[in-house]
Amino acid sequence: MSELTPADDSLHPAASTDRWWTETCWFSFDQPGPDLSATFYPLLRPNLAVASLAVYVWGPEAHEPHRIRYGRSLWHLAMPDTDLAALRLEGLAYDALEPLERYRVRYDDPGLLTVDVEYEGLRPARPSGVGGGHGHLDQPCRVRGEVRIGDQSFEIDSLAMRDRSWHVRPDDRSMRAGYSYGNASADEQFLAVSVHETADRYRVVTGYLVRDGVEQPVTGGTRTVTARDEAGYPLTVEMSLTDGAGRVLETSGRTRNRLANQATPGLFAWLSMTEWDAFGTCFGEDQDIWSPDQLARAVR
């Protein structure tokens, strides 16, 4: 696995002529108290010369994109002429202030939503499958700043996550998976990526566990959705993780809000701010991920 460099803050050269070559640059936050969550998700397809942008802000009162506090999804945008390290795309501005460490995220939809927050890495960004022109990274962060929704203002000071991917990502792939994390501090946190096995049980295939400041890769584990609402979104989740040092984390999570998020034509997810009983109590997210064909079969 290759190490990350400051160049990984920028748009990567397409390593394939495949039309589905895709680069994403996701930032999120979940603010306890108002239980306010946000996701900023630009998706770039340079071989098609198109981009998309999804920005959502939601709380516990609604999960439908048309009922939440703010929702905007824009498709078939022209590829931006700015680099990802200083991205400008339909009201969204990303600025890499310190390579792989500190970022400013701004968004402005006049009269509806204004965001100005800064992300600072709690730990170094963790590479996954980086090499051969493709890769992924995850980085837990502290995020601070302000969000204004209409005439209502919220101070943001929470622990959050960002990730990046650059690889071929077809819209017609079929999948069912999970992306779950919790951050108590720089020294206590976990991330688990899982794939569906049977019913509501998932096998953890990658991730990390940080305890007492010592980070180890996750070598195995399970994610189990133990209760769902009649609409299908997770209410409670159980995680069991084992890391490379043989340490075990058993934790249960209770979702505090959720968004029905159609990130791309081939990717749907329930994005839920989650309160975990790990490390005492910590917050993060549980992302219950489906391709539309799998979701349709499950609903039927």
CA 292 to CA 299: how far, in whole Å?
10
Tens digit of each residue's pLDDT (9 = 90 or more) over 241-265: 999 999 999 999 999 999 999 989 9
User: With 80 as the cut, is the pLDDT of residue 2 above it?
Assistant: no
- Based on the fold, state whether residues 93 and 148 are members of the same structural domain: yes
Average pLDDT value for residue range 33-57:
97
Q: Are residues 178 and 147 in the same domain?
A: no
Together in a domain, 279 and 295: yes
The last residue of a domain, from among 169, 190, 210:
169
Whether residue 260 lies inside any domain: the answer is: yes
Q: Beta strands of 19-101 (E only): which ranges?
A: 21-31, 36-45, 50-58, 70-78, 88-89, 92-98
pLDDT category of residue 79 using cuts at 50, 70 and 90 = very high
Domain boundaries, position 232: 172-300
**10-143-59-38 Cα dihedral, nearest 10 degrees:** -10
Torsion sign over Cα 266, 107, 158, 236 = negative
Q: How many domains does the chain have?
A: 2
Has residue 78 been placed in a domain? yes
pLDDT for 33: 97
- Determine the Cα–Cα distance for residues 74 and 80; give it in Å rounded to an integer: 13
Q: What is the pLDDT of residue 300?
A: 79
pLDDT at 298 over 90: no
Reported as half-sphere exposure (CB side, CA atoms, 13 A), residue 276 has a value of 25
What's the pLDDT at 263?
Answer: 87
The answer to whether residues 153 and 30 belong to one domain is yes
What pLDDT sits at residue 142? 98
CATH number at residue 77: 2.40.370.10
Q: What is the mean pLDDT of residues 63-82?
A: 96
Same domain, 224 and 298: yes
HSE, CB side, 13 Å, CA atoms: give it for residue 135.
22
When pLDDT is averaged across residues 99-124 and rounded to a whole number, the result is 98
Q: Please indicate, yes or no, whether residues 149 and 197 belong to a single structural domain of this protein.
A: no
pLDDT, tens digit, for every residue of 203-238? 999 999 999 999 999 999 999 999 999 989 999 999
pLDDT tens column, 165-192: 999 999 999 999 999 999 999 999 999 9
